[in-house]
């Protein structure tokens, strides 16, 4: 049994995302939740509505969205299997996957495709863990002039250092020791980094997010006009095009692609090697132009991740206690509460395998905090059944 969104409502949801400047998949994820409501005076229909409302609210909270009332999500009619979303642009799709009805209560499990809007942000408290992979040069022959082959790794290193020193929302934990060997440097990273590769990097670096990138154009253009050369002193102009891709390693999905383009005067002798670690390079017109693109990328990453909910991975389970890989560096504090999520997947109607988070009934409270990990205890001291290493924790508004 499924809840069907009216076509014009779904178009509105997608339009809202496009107008915000993000692709629909940027913040989108599937969440499986269960809502429960008591039956009063035999009115199971009303109880069913309340149970669905609770399940949707739970999914929204875990997605990183916030709601002032359920009406902001529902804001319409619920009659049997028809669910109308008119205004929020938060819910892309909803399916009812199970219902249990008794004389005393109704229990409804739903699966919802949700994204969190920028202007609804209560998830900025926890910093998200990230690793940076050394960038690569797409066209090696373009780096031959000046022998600037190491520029790609230097740019990624500067982005990593910028995240470490400036970011309020990202915990930059690791700069990967060597570039990933790809079959084709001219193709996007997302077309070559599969889920298994991302998971391996995440395990090594103990992070949720991975940043990769390519320098796609380092070509140089010569000024053949001698008069212009004499007037401006510019003999060559060089391009700098960069593509950065951000991945969520926990589910293997591409979160966002950023593209940057600039060009500037190339003041160096084209026959000599340029030291890209020198002040002379970074204070040149070209070096300053590259730095401007690095600063722009840091600002855009910060804006993107500000309203993205942080998830931690469980690394140890013992009786009623867990340890997960977020800590004081992520602004975790003793007393913070989390819920446990099982990560799964399902195949949608188009045959595409989608990541899916199943929210368990377990609630844990942090008792000990370390720089990159924390220990949490179930709030009622119940034993943790069916909780495994690799399951997730996510914060919720209590």
233: CATH: 3.40.50.10610
Closest CA to 217 of 253, 188, 186: 186
- Cβ-based neighbours of 147, under 8 Å, separated by 6 or more: 273, 274
In a shared domain, residues 238 and 136: yes
In a shared domain, residues 143 and 81: no
Alpha carbon distance 220, 239 (integer Å): 6
Domain boundary among 249, 276, 305: 305
- 91-101 and 105-114 beta bridge pairing: antiparallel
Instruction: Kindly state whether residue 246 falls inside one of the protein's structural domains.
Output: yes
Closest CA to 344 of 303, 388, 309, 375: 388
Instruction: Kindly state whether residue 122 falls inside one of the protein's structural domains.
Output: no
**How does DSSP classify residue 251?**
T
In a shared domain, residues 90 and 141: no
Q: Which CATH number belongs to the domain containing residue 96 in this structure?
A: 3.30.1660.40
Total structural domains in the chain?
A: 3
Domain boundary among 80, 114, 148: 114
- Cβ-based neighbours of 292, under 8 Å, separated by 6 or more: 262
In a shared domain, residues 294 and 318: no
In a shared domain, residues 99 and 154: no
Instruction: Kindly state whether residue 16 falls inside one of the protein's structural domains.
Output: yes
In a shared domain, residues 203 and 246: yes
In a shared domain, residues 56 and 141: no
Domain interval for residue 321: 311-395
In a shared domain, residues 213 and 109: no
Alpha carbon distance 51, 216 (integer Å): 51
Closest CA to 117 of 300, 308, 356: 308
Instruction: Kindly state whether residue 345 falls inside one of the protein's structural domains.
Output: yes
Q: Taking the CB of residue 382, how many other CB atoms lie within 10 A of it?
A: 13
- What tens-digit pLDDT sequence spans the chain (398 residues)? 333 333 333 333 332 333 333 333 444 567 788 888 888 778 888 888 888 887 887 777 666 554 333 333 333 333 333 333 333 335 667 788 889 998 888 999 888 877 655 444 544 478 999 999 999 999 999 999 999 999 999 999 999 999 999 998 999 999 987 777 776 666 777 777 888 889 899 999 999 999 999 999 999 988 765 545 544 555 788 999 999 999 999 888 899 999 999 999 999 988 899 999 999 999 999 999 999 999 999 989 998 888 787 889 999 999 999 999 999 999 999 999 999 988 777 777 777 777 777 888 889 999 999 999 999 999 988 899 888 899 999 875 43
Alpha carbon distance 374, 328 (integer Å): 8
In a shared domain, residues 279 and 347: no
Instruction: Kindly state whether residue 349 falls inside one of the protein's structural domains.
Output: yes
In a shared domain, residues 257 and 361: no
Domain boundary among 65, 82, 114: 114
> What does residue 286 show for φ and ψ, rounded to 5 degrees?
-70, -45
Task: Measure CA of the first residue to CA of the last residue in the chain; give whole Å.
Answer: 31
> What does residue 300 show for φ and ψ, rounded to 5 degrees?
-70, -35
Instruction: Kindly state whether residue 121 falls inside one of the protein's structural domains.
Output: no
Instruction: Kindly state whether residue 365 falls inside one of the protein's structural domains.
Output: yes
Query: Tokens for 87?
Result: 């205004």
Instruction: Kindly state whether residue 1 falls inside one of the protein's structural domains.
Output: no
In a shared domain, residues 211 and 284: yes
In a shared domain, residues 208 and 296: yes
């Amino acid at each position: 049994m499924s809840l069907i969104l009216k076509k014009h409502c779904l178009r509105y949801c997608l339009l809202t995302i496009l107008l915000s400047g993000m692709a629909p998949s940027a913040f989108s994820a599937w969440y499986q939740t269960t809502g429960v409501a008591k039956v009063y005076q035999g009115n199971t229909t009303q109880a069913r509505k309340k149970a669905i409302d609770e399940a949707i609210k739970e999914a929204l909270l875990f997605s990183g969205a916030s709601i002032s009332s359920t009406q902001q999500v529902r804001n319409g009619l619920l009659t049997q299997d028809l669910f109308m979303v008119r205004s929020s642009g938060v819910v892309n799709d909803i399916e009812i996957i199970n219902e249990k009805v008794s004389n005393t209560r109704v229990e409804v499990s739903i699966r919802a495709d949700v994204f969190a809007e920028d202007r609804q942000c209560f998830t900025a408290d926890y910093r998200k863990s990230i690793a940076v992979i050394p960038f690569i040069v797409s066209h090696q022959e373009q780096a031959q002039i000046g022998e600037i082959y190491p520029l790609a790794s230097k740019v990624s290193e500067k982005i990593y250092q910028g995240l470490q020193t400036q970011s309020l929302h990202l915990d930059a934990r690791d700069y990967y020791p060597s570039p990933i060997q790809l079959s084709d440097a001219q193709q996007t990273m997302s077309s070559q980094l599969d889920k298994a590769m991302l998971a391996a990097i995440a395990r090594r670096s103990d992070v949720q997010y991975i940043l990769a990138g390519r320098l796609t154009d380092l070509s140089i253009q010569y000024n053949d006009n001698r008069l212009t050369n004499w007037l401006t002193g510019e003999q060559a102009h060089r391009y700098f095009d960069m593509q950065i891709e951000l991945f969520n390693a926990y589910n293997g999905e591409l979160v966002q692609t950023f593209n940057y383009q600039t060009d500037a005067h190339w003041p160096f002798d084209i026959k000599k090697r340029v030291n890209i670690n020198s002040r002379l390079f970074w204070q040149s017109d070209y070096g300053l132009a590259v730095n401007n693109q690095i600063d722009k990328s840091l600002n855009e990453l910060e804006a993107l991740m500000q309203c993205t909910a942080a998830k931690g991975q469980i690394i140890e389970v013992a009786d009623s206690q867990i340890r997960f890989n977020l800590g004081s560096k992520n602004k975790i504090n003793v007393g913070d509460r989390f819920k446990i999520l099982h990560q799964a997947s399902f195949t949608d109607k188009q045959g595409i395998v989608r990541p899916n988070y199943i929210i368990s009934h377990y609630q844990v409270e942090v008792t000990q905090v370390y720089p990159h990990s924390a220990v949490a205890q179930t709030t009622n001291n119940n034993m943790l059944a069916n909780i495994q290493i690799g399951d997730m924790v996510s914060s919720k508004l209590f």
